[in-house]
């Protein structure tokens, strides 16, 4: 907008200054004769050249300033596009993004309630850090942002369902809906494993509270 205003001012000034100079020349010709006009318009008349330059200088200055701003804006836009491309490349090849993608695939494909920690694509702490960083980048008042952060929050809590391998092994017949598989012939939630399930539930609550606390602290 600044460039347009400066350029518009320059054009208007050139028109007005040109009209003013033309009216002065016509006035000189009419009142003082053609010989006087030739004298003023002589290339050796330095005074006339300086006066004309001073008259046009505001328009010239505005036009040059508009050109300068336009070059700066073009440079910033090119730099912004370059930075955006670099950031996009960084996001695509970011280890944290790869971890989140693999973790998301693991959650979608899960068929058991308790899974071994060894199946995670990275350590729990690394996945926590990646989820928190992604949530902080996408916080906002929009509906999509709120839903996305809520999804990340749930994924953070679901880390509690990844347990030490021996615990996962003794609960391997528990399906993702919390029921024992048909082959086991057990009750829907075996009493012998209720402590493991309770620990998972408490762990999810703690992790969600931890997520909210970290996200809240980052927003202060």
pLDDT band at residue 5 under the 50/70/90 scheme: low
* Co-location of 123 and 196 in the same domain: yes
Q: Would the pLDDT of 1 be above 50?
A: no
* Co-location of 106 and 213 in the same domain: yes
How high is the pLDDT of residue 207?
Answer: 93
* Co-location of 204 and 110 in the same domain: yes
* Co-location of 99 and 208 in the same domain: yes
The residue out of 46, 65, 92 marking a domain boundary is 92
What element of type H or E holds 202? Answer: helix 194-218
The predicted-structure confidence for 135-170, as pLDDT tens digits, reads as follows 888 888 777 778 888 888 888 988 988 999 988 888
**C-alpha of 134 from chain center:** 12
Q: Which residues, other chains included, contact 168 with Cβ-Cβ below 8 Å and sequence gap of 6+?
A: 112, 114, 115, 116, 117, 162
Q: Which residues, other chains included, contact 44 with Cβ-Cβ below 8 Å and sequence gap of 6+?
A: none
Domain extent at residue 58: 2-92
* Co-location of 111 and 59 in the same domain: no
The residue out of 92, 120, 145 marking a domain boundary is 92
pLDDT band at residue 114 under the 50/70/90 scheme: confident
* Co-location of 101 and 141 in the same domain: yes
The residue out of 92, 126, 154 marking a domain boundary is 92
Domain count for the chain, please give it: 2
* Co-location of 147 and 206 in the same domain: yes
């Amino acid at each position: 907008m600044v460039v347009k205003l400066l350029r518009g001012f320059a054009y208007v000034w050139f028109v007005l200054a040109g009209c003013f100079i033309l009216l002065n020349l016509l006035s000189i010709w009419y009142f003082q004769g053609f010989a006087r006009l030739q004298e003023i318009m002589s290339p050796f008349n330095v005074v006339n050249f300086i006066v004309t330059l001073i008259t046009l200088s505001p328009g010239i200055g505005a036009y040059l300033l508009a050109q300068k701003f336009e070059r700066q804006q073009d440079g910033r836009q090119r730099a912004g596009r370059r930075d955006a491309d670099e950031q996009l490349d960084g996001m695509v090849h970011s280890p944290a993004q790869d971890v989140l993608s693999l973790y998301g695939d693991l959650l979608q494909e899960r068929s058991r309630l308790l899974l071994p920690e060894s199946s995670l694509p990275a350590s729990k702490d690394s996945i926590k850090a990646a989820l928190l960083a992604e949530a902080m980048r996408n916080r906002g008042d929009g509906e999509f942002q709120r839903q996305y952060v809520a999804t990340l929050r749930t994924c953070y809590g679901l880390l509690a369902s990844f347990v030490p391998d021996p615990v996962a092994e003794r609960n391997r017949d528990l399906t993702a809906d919390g029921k024992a598989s048909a082959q086991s012939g057990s009750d829907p939630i075996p009493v012998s494993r209720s402590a493991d399930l309770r620990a998972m539930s408490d762990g999810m609550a703690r992790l969600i509270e931890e997520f909210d606390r970290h996200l809240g602290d980052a927003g202060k």
